[in-house]
Structure 1
Amino acid sequence: MARTASALHILVKDKELADDIIAKLKKGAQFDVLAKKHSTCPSGKKGDMVSAFDKICFSGELFTPHLVKTKFGWHVVKVLYRT
């Protein structure tokens, strides 16, 4: 059986903004509001994930914002569930 995961993410170009977003999330900011304001990711499609993103989705703590660097930029990732 294939493993699956569901995650939210916000893609930004620089680490400072990603760190600021994580700080706001820890203070109770809404993930979707920050994503609409800051994310530069055009995709909303399901599909293959880059390795670093995949790793956090299948090993990172659930419901906790994680910082992940990929070739696309800095991702703030919140894993919702995995099977």
Structure 2
Amino acid sequence: MAKTAAALHIIVKEEKLALDLLEQIKNGADFGKLAKKHSICPSGKRGGDLGEFRQGQMVPAFDKVVFSCPVLEPTGPLHTQFGYHIIKVLYRKLIARPSPRRRP
């Protein structure tokens, strides 16, 4: 079985801004609107939507948080080489890996 997740995120360069954005989100601000306005990631144009991805596709620190934090609860800031992330996991699921085909 492989693990997959879908998440939104916002990346900014300053930790102070990340903390401020996280506080705004926890107080009811729209994650997508803040992502469009502040995120330095190209996904910001899509409201921070990263789509669905498999465990191991993202940088290790990001991957670890996404596959362990509570679903639908804004989390962060997480510092990586890209900046400070605010993350909101939309869902996680297990998918069956395709069986290798056997030759007759």
Q: Same fold (TM over 0.5)?
A: yes
More helix by proportion, 1 or 2? 1
Q: 1:45 to 1:20 in 2, by over 3 A?
A: closer
| Secondary structure of 1:74's aligned partner | strand
* Structure with more contact order per residue of length (Cα contacts < 8 Å, sep ≥ 6): 1
Q: Give aligned-pair identity as a percent.
A: 53
TM-score normalised to the size of structure 2?
0.74
Corresponding position: 1:57 with 2:66:
yes
CA RMSD of aligned residues (A): 1.5
Equivalent-residue separation in structure 1 for 2:91 and 2:68 (angstroms): 11
Give the number of equivalent residue pairs. Answer: 83
In structure 1, runs of 5+ residues without a counterpart are none
Give the match for residue 22 of structure 1. Answer: 22
Rg larger in 1 or in 2? 2
Q: Displacement of 1:34 after TM fit?
A: 0.1
Where has structure 1 moved over 3 Å in runs of 4 or more?
A: 43-47
TM-score normalised to the size of structure 1?
0.92
Q: Displacement of 1:42 after TM fit?
A: 2.0
Equivalent-residue separation in structure 2 for 1:49 and 1:10 (angstroms): 15
Corresponding position: 1:71 with 2:89:
no
